[in-house]
């Protein structure tokens, strides 16, 4: 129990620090949102528009930075995030909620799949060390994960969408389709997600395979594994319950972090596949110095990662008696 | 996952994504509208129906913020929905009556009177009247945040006299006609007067006068349907217009290449191989609008020395720069500041020939030598112990600019100028340019319906500011009373002859003093596919400024019909 209370205290302090940095950092960037908007339109706007934009965005406000900070903390507590400047005049929450479900589904599902699959492959590879799986899988996936994602994505589009016509080349659903809970839409959403999901899984799985394999090799030389073998237990039971269960412990925190970062989206996937999501919002918010959107997004990621780490700590404490004993 | 991918791949920011808005009105300036009717085609043998798919990368998913005044991503619907009082025809120099059926200048060009067209209705069935026009302008006066064109920097009052709208100007400002009449979109009083805060009004279903009505909008698609009550009877011919959202040029270009869109407005590398693919229905042509300049800071060493600026202009092989940056699609710019061939009727050929700024590195070296510079270490010129070295500000996200500046850097080194390129984020670069904290910067100019607009933007000291304060134009800090009085005189006249004489003198100033260095001519990117629809502006039938300029794109749409 004491462990968990300590973790919660740590969580709250980190959250406050993150929220404060979140406030300070964007304001230390050179330029302002109105200038960023002018730059975004690349000479397309009349120079007089700068003044209009500054008025609309509340640039050059008379409030002191301290007043702004207090206001900001108050707004966060009430989940008020204001209006997005780069998507002016749409409210931040609307912009985020439009993108978040796509990201949570795609990134969430692919993270889980690639963790489970990667762990399994890593486990088998280590178990049959020097076998076909061990010689083939880790190097292949590590090489794939080192390929530029952009290039891989475009190749997949070229092969599966343009040449073979098996899958759509982009977007979250069919052109002209409606977002609702009908079977047609769900079917569309799944077909459109296959290619992005596939590319994410094959590029991210290598890391899981490698770490799991290495952890596993370590645990396989432990005495308790040797004892299990000596007892004549079924090899599957040794692999999963004796070696696997211990080897996965360090990876659980990594997995929790990855789940937390799901909220930050998949920038390159979204760009290559014109897929809706949070990743591009991040880029847009930072490029446009869209403070309200940036603050909301960073806050969500911070909370998600911290919460995931907290949960992982709790899970680790439950799974591993050694942590509780300390 | 995300942050590692973010750092692993290089971020791709759309290359010159937006078509330049610069409507290129050449020729006769603002005199006379003529009696030309807006629609003169016969509809007898035109087939109705068909879908336009517009591929105009916005670099964001649609937010459906279609308010024409608050800087939202509204460019995709302007013209199709909201319309202006007149249309400033980009290429033939004529002004077409639009929501105003006529206009006239009086009171020494300080008063502008519009006759408002009769028989126009809003797409909700309510009649459009002069009251809507007056309401729109007063809305902009009450909300400076909406007045992106700066209409009220020159306007004194706008009032209604029956079917006329009378505008009084603070000072004579004839060129501002372009903004007031050609770029200010009229909104309905009966809707907008009920809106509490027009600045944050989203306006996802505009009530407008234009040929299309927004029927559906989500983050991925904007769908507009034909407005059956459009005031140009029988138009538009097409039934539907769809605009998918693209985050980046890559997928946008691919969509075009797959033939899924029939109207494109992007930079496509190697367009003949990638897009046309030998398909006789696929075409492209890019009309030049306004220059991309090197702005030499006129108040810091070494760009405050005229010989240095001249040498830079002579040392740049503009054609090669364009080849390396954008496959040569941007034509080399002319030191006179006249965009060619768009404004060739304004171009003083003999003057340009006299100064001759065609690529000539040996002449550049001679100029520097006669200005007292001597070759020092590494062949770099120096004078009184000061090395001739400077930093050029570029934008890291524009890969075309990065390549162009690298070439310029090499060419300057070849004539003994030690240039280094500093590629910044777009807004940091703009902020440095505006405040004058730079030596040499690569940046856009502003366009308009005659060469005056670019000249005004780059040369008018009324737009500049001391180093450290924000300039809204004339970033190079060129202060010259002769230039200012020429620009001022241009703004007061509606006579074409006087306008031409003034532009000739301004060309002289550009060539003699080299206050700025035009490098390439910005173009409107434009691709079109005639498989189903015809009526597109073509190289030989440029009835409008091609591309996706606003409101020009409306004119294109009104000409399109099934084969």
Of the candidates A46, A170, A178, which has its C-beta nearest B150's C-beta? A46
CB contacts < 8 Å between A and B, how many? 211
Which of A89, A261, A266 is the closest to B65 by Cβ?
A: A89
**Residue B457: in which H helix or E strand, if any?**
helix B451-459
Q: How far is A130 from A128, CA to CA, in rounded Å? A: 6
- Minimal-distance CA residue of chain B relative to A150: B9
* Strand pairing class (B381-383; B386-387): antiparallel
Q: Which two tokens stand for residue B218?
A: 């989500």
Q: What pLDDT, on a 0 to 100 scale, did the predictor assign at position B498?
A: 96
Please report which helix (H) or strand (E) contains residue B242, including its range.
strand B240-244
From the list A39, A169, A173, the residue facing B430 with the nearest CB is: A39
Homologous superfamily (CATH) of A92-294+307-317 is MetI-like (1.10.3720.10)
| CATH topology classification for B288-523 | Dipeptide-binding Protein; domain 3 (3.10.105)
* pLDDT for residue A61: 67
- Taking the CA of residue A275 and the nearest CA in chain B, the distance in Å comes to 9
Q: How far is A321 from chain B (nearest CA, A)?
A: 30
- Domain positions in chain B: 288-523
Which chain B residue lies closest to A200 (C-alpha atoms)? B1
Query: Confidence class of residue A182 from pLDDT cuts 50, 70 and 90?
Result: confident
Q: Is A170 on the interface with B (CB under 8 A)?
A: yes
* Residues with Cβ within 8 Å of residue B347, at least 6 apart in sequence: B334, B336, B338, B340, B507
- pLDDT score recorded for residue A60: 67
- Residue A259 has a pLDDT of 86
Note whether A89 contacts B429, CB cutoff 8 Å.
no
Q: What are the pLDDT digits (tens) for A6-32?
A: 888 888 898 888 888 888 887 777 667
Half-sphere CA count of A97, side-chain side, radius 13 A: 6
C-alpha B237: how far from chain center: 28
Q: Which residues of B touch A271 (CB under 8 A)?
A: 12, 247-248, 250-251
Contacts of A46 in chain B (CB under 8 A): 148-150, 179, 183, 446
Check CB contact under 8 Å for B431 and A35.
yes
> Do A87 and B200 contact (CB within 8 A), yes or no?
no
Question: Under an 8 A CB cutoff, do A169 and B251 touch?
Answer: yes
- C-alpha B64/C-alpha B74 separation (Å) is 8
Minimum Cα–Cα distance from B244: chain A residue = A175
Q: Is the pLDDT of residue A71 over 80?
A: yes
Q: Which of A83, A274, A279 sits opposite B200 (nearest CB)?
A: A83
Top-confidence residue, A263 or A201: A201
Choose the closest CB to B254 out of A37, A38, A169: A169
pTM for this model (two decimals): 0.83
Spell out the residues 6+ positions from residue B334 whose beta carbon is closer than 8 angstroms to its own. B340, B347, B352, B357, B518
Residue A274 to residue B258, Cβ atoms within 8 A = no
**Percent of residues, chain A, with pLDDT higher than 70:** 94
- Name the A residues in 100-119 with CB < 8 Å from any B CB: 107, 111
State the pLDDT at residue A67: 85
A31 in reach of chain B (CB within 8 A): yes
d(CA B336, CA B517): 9
Q: Which residues of A touch B245 (CB under 8 A)?
A: 274
Q: Which of B1, B426, B430 is facing A258, going by the closest CB pair?
A: B1
pLDDT band at A176 (very low <50, low <70, confident <90, very high): low
Q: Is B2 in Cβ contact with A90 (below 8 Å)?
A: no
Residues in CB range of A53: below 8 A, 6 or more apart: A33, A34, A37, A38, A59, B71, B145, B148
Q: Touching check for A256 and chain B: CB below 8 Å?
A: no
Query: pLDDT, tens digit, for every residue of A208-252?
Result: 998 999 898 888 888 988 888 898 889 888 888 888 888 888 888
Indicate yes or no: CB of B9 within 8 angstroms of CB of A51: no
Interchain CB distance below 8 Å, B18 and A31:
no
The C-alpha of B491 sits at a distance from chain A's nearest C-alpha, in angstroms, of 17
Among B403, B341, B358, B317, residue whose Cα is nearest residue B15: B403
The structure tokens listed for B280 are 């006789």
* Tens digit of each residue's pLDDT, chain B (563 residues): 333 222 222 333 333 323 333 332 222 233 333 334 444 445 567 899 999 999 998 888 888 889 998 766 778 899 999 999 999 876 666 799 999 999 999 999 999 999 999 999 999 999 999 999 999 999 999 998 888 888 999 999 999 999 999 999 999 999 999 999 999 999 999 999 999 989 889 899 999 999 999 999 988 889 999 999 999 999 999 999 999 988 888 888 989 999 999 999 999 999 999 999 999 999 999 999 899 999 999 999 999 999 999 999 999 999 999 999 999 999 999 999 999 999 999 999 999 999 999 999 999 999 999 999 999 888 999 998 899 999 999 998 788 899 999 999 999 999 999 999 999 988 889 889 999 999 999 999 988 889 999 999 999 999 999 999 889 899 999 999 999 999 999 999 999 999 999 999 999 999 999 999 999 999 999 999 999 999 999 999 988 989 999 899 999 999 999 99
Q: Where are the beta strands (DSSP E) in B436-477?
A: 440-444
Q: Where are the alpha helices (DSSP H) in chain A?
A: 2-28, 33-40, 49-57, 65-77, 92-127, 132-146, 149-156, 183-220, 223-230, 235-237, 245-247, 249-261, 267-272, 278-287, 291-319, 321-325
> What are A59's two structure tokens?
């640039």
CA distance B543 to A148: 45
d(CA B313, CA B536): 37
Least CB-CB distance to A46: which of B1, B70, B179? Answer: B179
Q: How far is B284 from chain A (nearest CA, A)?
A: 21
Are β-strands B440-444 and B240-244 bridged in parallel, bridged antiparallel, or unpaired?
unpaired
Minimum-distance CB partner of A271 among B12, B147, B429: B12
Q: Where are the domains of chain A?
A: 92-294+307-317
A284 to A294, A304, B137, B329: CA distances (angstroms): 9, 21, 32, 28
How far apart are alpha carbons B43 and A32 in whole angstroms?
Answer: 51
Q: How far is B251 from chain A (nearest CA, A)?
A: 6
What is the pLDDT, as a whole number, of residue B39? Answer: 43
Going by DSSP bridges, is the β-strand pair B263-264/B51-55 parallel, antiparallel, or unpaired?
A: parallel
How far is B558 from B212, CA to CA, in rounded Å?
10
**DSSP 8-class letter at A24:** H
Tell me what pLDDT residue B43 has.
58
**What's the half-sphere exposure (Cβ side, CA atoms, 13 Å) at B95?**
26
């Amino acid at each position: 129990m004491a462990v968990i209370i300590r973790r919660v205290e740590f969580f709250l302090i980190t959250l406050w620090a993150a929220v404060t940095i979140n406030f300070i950092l964007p304001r230390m960037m050179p330029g302002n949102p109105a200038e960023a908007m002018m730059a975004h339109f690349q000479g397309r706007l009349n120079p007089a528009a700068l003044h209009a934009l500054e008025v609309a965005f509340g640039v050059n406000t008379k409030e002191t930075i301290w007043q702004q900070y207090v206001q900001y903390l108050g707004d966060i507590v009430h989940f008020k995030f204001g209006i997005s400047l780069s998507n002016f005049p749409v409210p931040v929450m609307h912009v985020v909620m439009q993108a978040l479900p796509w990201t949570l589904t795609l990134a969430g599902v692919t993270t889980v799949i690639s963790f489970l699959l990667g762990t399994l492959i890593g486990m088998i590879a280590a178990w049959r060390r020097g076998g076909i799986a061990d010689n083939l899988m880790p190097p292949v996936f590590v090489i794939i994960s080192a390929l530029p994602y952009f290039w891989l994505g475009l190749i997949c589009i070229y092969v599966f969408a343009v040449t073979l016509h098996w899958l759509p080349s982009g977007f979250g659903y069919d052109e002209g389709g409606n977002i609702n809970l009908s079977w047609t839409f769900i079917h569309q959403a799944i077909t459109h997600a296959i290619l992005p999901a596939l590319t994410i899984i094959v590029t991210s799985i290598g890391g899981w395979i490698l770490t799991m394999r290495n952890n596993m090799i370590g645990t396989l030389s432990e005495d308790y594994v040797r004892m299990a073998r000596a007892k004549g237990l079924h090899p599957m039971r040794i692999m999963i319950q004796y070696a696997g269960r211990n080897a996965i412990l360090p990876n659980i925190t990594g997995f929790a972090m990855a789940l937390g970062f799901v909220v930050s989206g998949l920038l390159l996937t979204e760009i290559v596949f014109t897929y809706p999501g949070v990743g591009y919002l991040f880029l847009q918010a930072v490029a446009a110095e869209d403070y309200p959107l940036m603050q909301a997004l960073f806050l969500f990621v911070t909370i998600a990662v911290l919460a995931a780490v907290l949960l992982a700590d709790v899970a680790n404490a439950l799974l591993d008696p050694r942590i509780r004993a300390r | 996952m995300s942050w590692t991918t973010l750092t692993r791949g290089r971020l791709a920011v759309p290359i010159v994504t937006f078509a330049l808005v610069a409507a290129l009105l050449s020729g006769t300036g603002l005199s006379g509208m003529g009696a030309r009717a807006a629609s003169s085609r016969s509809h007898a043998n035109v087939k109705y129906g068909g879908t336009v798919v517009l591929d105009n990368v916005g670099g964001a998913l649609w937010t459906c913020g279609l308010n024409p005044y608050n800087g939202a991503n509204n460019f995709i619907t302007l013209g199709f929905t909201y319309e202006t009082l007149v249309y400033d025809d980009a290429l033939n120099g004529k002004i077409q009556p639009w929501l105003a059926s006529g206009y006239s200048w009086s009171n020494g060009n300080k008063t502008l009177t519009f006759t408002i067209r009769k028989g126009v209705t809003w797409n909700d069935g309510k009649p459009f009247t002069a009251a809507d026009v007056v309401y729109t302008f007063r809305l902009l006066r009450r909300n400076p945040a909406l007045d992106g064109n700066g209409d009220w920097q020159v306007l004194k009052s706008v009032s209604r006299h029956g079917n006329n709208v009378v505008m009084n100007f603070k000072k004579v400002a004839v060129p501002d006609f372009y903004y007031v009449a050609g770029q200010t979109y009229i909104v309905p009083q009966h809707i907008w007067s009920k809106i509490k805060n027009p600045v944050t009004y989203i306006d996802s279903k505009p009530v407008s006068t234009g040929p299309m009505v927004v029927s559906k909008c989500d983050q991925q698609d904007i769908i507009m349907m034909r407005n059956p009550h459009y005031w140009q009877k029988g138009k538009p011919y097409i039934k539907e217009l769809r605009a998918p959202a693209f985050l980046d040029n890559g997928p946008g270009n691919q969509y075009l290449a797959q033939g899924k869109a029939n109207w494109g407005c992007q930079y496509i590398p190697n367009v003949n191989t990638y897009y046309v693919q030998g398909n006789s229905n696929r075409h492209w042509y890019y009309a030049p609008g306004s220059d991309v300049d090197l702005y030499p800071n006129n108040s810091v060493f070494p760009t405050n020395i005229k010989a240095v600026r001249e040498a830079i202009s002579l040392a740049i092989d503009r054609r090669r720069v364009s080849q390396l940056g954008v496959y040569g699609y941007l034509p080399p710019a002319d030191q006179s500041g006249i965009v060619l061939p768009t404004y060739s009727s304004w171009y003083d050929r003999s003057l340009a020939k006299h100064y001759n700024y065609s690529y000539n590195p040996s002449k550049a070296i001679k100029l520097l030598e006669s200005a007292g510079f001597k070759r020092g270490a590494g062949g770099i010129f120096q004078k009184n112990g000061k090395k001739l070295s400077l930093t050029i500000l570029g934008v890291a996200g524009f890969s075309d600019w990065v390549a162009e500046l690298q070439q310029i850097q090499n060419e300057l080194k070849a004539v003994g100028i030690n240039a280094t390129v500093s590629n910044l984020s777009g807004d940091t670069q703009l902020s440095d340019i505006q405040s004058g904290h730079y030596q040499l910067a690569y940046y856009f100019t502003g366009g308009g319906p005659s060469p005056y607009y670019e000249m005004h933007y780059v040369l008018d000291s009324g737009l500049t500011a001391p180093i450290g304060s924000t300039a809204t134009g004339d970033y190079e800090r060129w202060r010259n009373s002769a230039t200012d009085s020429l620009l001022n005189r241009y703004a007061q006249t509606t006579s074409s002859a006087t306008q031409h004489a003034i532009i000739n003198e301004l060309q002289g100033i550009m060539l003699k003093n080299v206050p700025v260095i035009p490098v390439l001519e910005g173009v409107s990117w434009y691709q079109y596919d005639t498989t189903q629809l015809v009526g597109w502006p073509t190289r030989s039938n440029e009835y409008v400024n091609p591309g996706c300029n606003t409101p020009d794109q409306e004119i294109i749409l009104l000409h399109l019909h099934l084969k």
